[in-house]
Structure 1
Amino acid sequence: MSESKVIIADDHPLFRTALKQAIIECIDDAQTLEAECFSDLLTAIERNPSLEIVFLDLHMPGNNGFTGLTQLQNHYPDLVVIMVSSDDNNDTMQKAINFGAAAFIPKSADLQMISTAIDCVLEGDIWLPECVENNVDQQTLIAHRRLAKQLAQLTPQQYIVLTQIADGQLNKQIAYDLDIKETTVKKHVSAILSKLEVNNRTLAGLAYQELMLTLPENDGDLQSA
């Protein structure tokens, strides 16, 4: 049996079925895995090092906007990530590409469009639907790509610490959750601030929240420790 190359991370069974059909047509002998939430996706990736392509739902459980995309890029930089969503406005689709996705496939896409997108990605290109207007704001594009590059420079544990900073947790709480010393957390925070080129943890948390499409309830409550 061929090793799994593709995983579909989406909590809608009907759309997973449509994607699987397109994958069968585009990728020879591809064994396709499925995940219904982001934590299951991470577990599957760890257990299947042969995976090459991830189809990631923008709003699946455990993933808020582009937080999952950048986490995958940080932890598994060799994976190709294709975003999928019914939230297919111009800004959202372009933002996905800005943050490093190889494609954005609307859930309204038919089988032919999905196949076209997959073929394009397999050829090493970036794909967006033809309906996307080519009116990218260059300053926004540069800012998004800069943030994506900075996040990619974080170690996996620094990335996790950043997510907890953005969630408003103090160093002592982070140390407890990760089972590490508080002094280690402080070192991680210093490294995060340096790599993100910001002066304090509040700005670091706000930078991470740029990835979200819905802000957490404690937005702005990024306390120092």
Structure 2
Amino acid sequence: MSQAKVIIADDHPLFRTALKQAIIECIDDAGTLEADNFSELLIAIEATPSLEIVFLDLHMPGNDGFTGLTQLQNHYPDLVVIMVSSDDNDETMQKAINFGAAAFIPKSADLTTIASAIDTVLMGDIWLPELIEKNAGQQTALAHQKLAKQLGQLTPQQYVVLTQIADGQLNKQIAYYLNIKETTVKKHVSAILEKLEVNNRTLAGLAYQQLMLSPTENVNSPI
């Protein structure tokens, strides 16, 4: 298993089984791993340097909207992330691409469509379902792409500090959580504000919260 190239992070075994079948058809010697929550995914990534592709469920335990996607990009920039979900509205799918996913595969897709998506990603291209309205909200798309780029410039520890800021934690609490000095936290906060181009920690927290699904995006039953 040490040579696994693909990991499926999804808490629904039936979908993982279907996805594995499509992966076998597209990728030689894929050596597929599985995880049913985000913490388990991170452990597997750390233990398996050969991983190249992550299939990430939008609603899996431990993943809040696109926070998991940007965390993977920040900590493991060489990994290709393909989002999967039953939430296949145009806004959510386009948002995934804006934040750096290589593809968004609806869980309603058949094996042929899934295989086509995987093939497209392997060729280095972005894949979305054909009928998606790609022209809506260009200004918003550019803002999301800029935020994704800024988040990618944070160090892994700065990224964690940002998540704590967004959660309303004070510097003293963050220092305790990360087992670092409060002065170090203050330096991280200053760097975060500079990289996100904001003036205070409240705005930094609001920027991070853009990664979470809005109530209108979250109306579907999470699967």
- The interval holding the TM-score normalised by the smaller chain is over 0.9
Partner of residue 109, structure 1 = 109
Q: Output the TM-score relative to the length of structure 1.
A: 0.94
| CA distance in 2 between partners of 1:134 and 1:29 (Å) | 34
User: Shift of residue 136 of structure 1?
Assistant: 3.0
**Aligned residue pairs: how many?**
215
Inter-partner Cα distance in structure 1 for 2:159 and 2:64: 15
Which residue matches 1:33? Answer: 33
Alignment partners' CA distance in 2, 1:188 and 1:90: 36
Alignment partner, residue 78 of structure 1: 78
Q: Give yes or no for contact 2:94–2:134 (8 Å, CA) kept in 1.
A: no
> Cα RMSD over matched residues?
1.1
Q: Provide the residue aligned with 1:131 in structure 2.
A: 131
Higher relative contact order (CA 8 A, sep 6+): 2
Q: Could you tell me whether the CA contact under 8 Å between 1:2 and 1:30 is conserved in 2?
A: no
Deviations 1:19-48 (A, max 9, x none): 000000000011000001001100000000
Alignment of 1:46-57 (within 5 A): 46-57=46-57
- Between the aligned partners of 2:177 and 2:141, the Cα distance in structure 1 is 35
Q: Which runs of 4+ in 1 moved over 6 A?
A: none
Give the letter for the 1:28 counterpart: D
Identical columns (%): 84
For residue 163 of structure 2, what is the aligned residue in structure 1? 163
* Alignment deviations for residues 193-215 of structure 1 (CA, whole Å, 9 cap, x no partner): 00000000000000000000158
1:201-220 paired onto structure 2 within 5 Å = 201-213=201-213
CA contact (8 A) 1:64 1:214 kept: no
**TM-score, normalised with respect to structure 2:** 0.94
Aligned CA distance change for structure 1 residues 200 and 108 (closer, same or farther; 3 Å): same
Runs of at least 5 residues in structure 1 that lack an aligned partner in the other structure: 216-225
Structure 2 partner of 1:172: 172
Name the CA distance, whole Å, in 1 between partners of 2:2 and 2:38: 24
